Structures are given as C-alpha cells and as structure tokens.
Amino acid sequence: MKDVYILGVETSCDETSISIVKNGFVDVYTCVATQMDTHAEFGGVVPEIASRMHTESITLVLEDVLKNSNVSWDMIDAIAVTYAPGLMGCLLIGLEFAKTLSLVHNKPLIKVHHIAGHIYANNLVEKIEFPSLALVVSGGHTELVLMKDDYDFDVLGTTLDDAVGECFDKVARVLGLKYPGGPNVERCALQGKPIYDLPIPMNDDSLNFSYSGLKSFIINLVHNENQRGVEINSCDVAKSFQDVAIEQLVRKTKMAIEKYGINRMVVAGGVSASQYLRDELTKMCKEKNVHLSIPPLKYCTDNATMIAAAAYPLFLKKEFSDYSINAKSHEYFFDKKD
Ligand code: KG4
Ligand code: ZN
C-alpha cells in the first residue's frame, strides 16, 4: 500500500501546531508555537488573546512545516483538525484554516476529537495493540477505558465530578503557583513533605474517581490557615495533595487491571506529563507484569502530531467530514455506558 501522509492542525487551547504524520505513526515534521509565556502573565489562558495569537502564527507555522518536512501538497492525502473540545474562538481558527486547506488543495477533511488525539499519541511510540486499557487524564477527562479496537472504546470508570487536571489547576491557584498549574504543583511538590492528612477519595471497589472533595479540602485548609495567621508551606500542601491525587489514579488502574485481566495499557492526556504519575504507574505495571506505554513529554502536551495520528484509522475507514462541521467547546469523547 502507498504511504499515507496526513497534515494535522491543532489550535484548541494555547498551542498553535501543525504536523505531518506518515501512516499514523511516523512524525515526519511537527511545529508547535506555544503561547504559554504570554498567558503566564495573566495566571491562565486568556481566550481572546489566545485566538488572536493563533491567527497571527498559524500561517507561519504552516510555512515552517512545508519548508522543513520535504513533503509537497501532492503527497498529502488528508487534512485532520481538532474540532472539540477547547476554547471556541481558538478551535474555530484551526477548523476554518483546515477547511480552507482542504478546499484549496482538494484533500479530504477529517475531524478529530482532542482526546482521541491524546490516546493515539501512543501510536507515535509503539502501535497500540488491542485489547488495551487506557488511563485518560487531562484538564477535562479522567477515565479508565477498555480499548477493544480503533475507536471502539468502553468506559470502565470515570470521574463523578471534577477532572484530575482541573483539580491540579485549582490547587495551583489557591497555593499561588503560576500557570500552568499542573507542572508547577509537581515542581513545588518535589521540595515538600506529605505532612497533611488528606481524605482518601473513592476508597471503594468501583472504578470511578472523584476530585471535588479533595479540591475543596485543600481550598479550605489554605483559607483556614490564612485566617488563623498560620503561614503554610505551599510545597508541603502540594506534595500531600499530589500523593493522594495520583494514588487514586494508580489504585483504580490497578483494580481495572485485576478485574479485566489486562496485560497492556497506555496513558493519555496532559496529566500524563506528570513524572510522579509516570513513575508510580511504571512501578505498579512492573509488579502486575503489564506492558505500559506512555508518550514522551513532547506528545503529552498539546500538539498536532497526535491529531494527525488519530486521523489515520478514520482515513482508512473513509470517515471524512464535510464543510458544515462546527467547532464544539464541550463534547465528551466517550459514549456513556451504563
Ligand atoms: O490534556 P490537556 O491538554 O487538557 C485538556 O485538553 O483539557 O492537559 C492539560 C492538563 C492541565 O490541567 C494541566 O494542569 C495538567 O494537564 N498537567 C499536569 C502536569 N502537566 C500538565 N498535571 C499534573 N502534573 C503535571 N506535571
Ligand atoms: Zn490536551
């Protein structure tokens, strides 16, 4: 079969990225223009600024890809783009850009859910073999998923309230740590001790998660100490929080492995950038004799490589989109299963 080249576009948050991926697993060339430093000054992503910066950089990012990838338009088979979820203005810039490229160069358009991208980032390391377990952990998702085949996924457990990444971001904010929250909580935790006795969430035999109780506990702890004039050591709070937050992920993953007799698993989503999570999962999987795949850091944070990789199985199934598709700021990736 002839090689398939897919050009991916990702603009759902604060990274403008375009990539060309061959056959769903070879990263031919990727460009990521990050806006992180700009948003850090405001303590979080400012949607209006993010949209404007995408508009400014997207053509430059494409130029860089076309110049350095050695791939010409006649070699490209399809255009893939993130349509959901994310910041509406940001998604629309990528989507309209991708539609225009598709129309002008007469290439099929493939819409990709951002979380599918995070999952298929694993194919850039080694091909996902089915069945496999996926732990999906991001700013909006916390799920254990049984992957039976490409895009044939059963949710085994999910968060009953907040997502783990969102919880890291809120805790970072109350501790006065800078945006982006997750990595800064982790950095701070490295210098802290787990001296706080925090409630263990979801200490049951379900595969579900909960993060709102833990989040509220930390917020109350910090406010109460502040009111009493007690100076808290942020890093001790960060370490105590991180231990409990990550332990919940590892404990439930281990339960799913035992319950479903799993021998392969992948991790997906921004929280998989956590070194502490990577280390704890590696230890647990070694103990359970489970093959673990976690993408390298450059594929854990937002990028278009994962979007082009996730489009490949859809390309093979000819699941193309027409130009009436719209961006969606909120869309849950998995079908709920009772
Ligand atoms: O997957 P992603 O891009 O989120 C969404 O698409 O929603 O991941 C972003 C999330 C943020 O909540 C961020 O705080 C978290 O991933 N994150 C981390 C770390 N790095 C990123 N959380 C904990 N530890 C980290 N090192
Ligand atoms: Zn993401």
Residue 180 pLDDT: 85
- Cα(135) to centroid(ligand 1), Å: 14
User: Cα angle at 261 between 122 and 284, to 5 degrees?
Assistant: 60
Give CA–CA dist 223/174, Å, rounded: 9
CA distances from 303 to 60, 82, 299, 328 (A): 16, 10, 7, 18
Question: Is residue 94 a contact partner of residue 58, using CB atoms and an 8 Å limit?
Answer: yes
pLDDT class for 337, splitting at 50, 70, 90? very low
Domains plus CATH for the chain? 5-121+299-335 (3.30.420.40), 129-294 (3.30.420.40)
Residue 201 CB–ligand 1 contact under 6 Å: no
Strands ordered across the beta sheet of 291-293: 152-158, 142-149, 132-137, 264-268, 291-293
Q: Is 170 in the pocket of ligand 1 (CB under 6 A)?
A: no
**15 CB within 6 A, ligand 1:** no
Nearest CA to 159 out of 146, 144, 172, 148 is that of 144
Give the ligand whose atoms come closest to the C-alpha of residue 139: 1
pLDDT tens, position by position, 200-227? 999 999 999 999 999 999 999 999 999 9
> Where does the pLDDT of residue 52 fall: very low under 50, low under 70, confident under 90, or very high at 90 and above?
very high
313 lines ligand 1 (CB under 6 A): no
Instruction: Tell me the average pLDDT across 221-237.
Output: 95
| Residues belonging to the chain | 338
Count of helix runs (H) and strand runs (E) in the chain? 11, 10
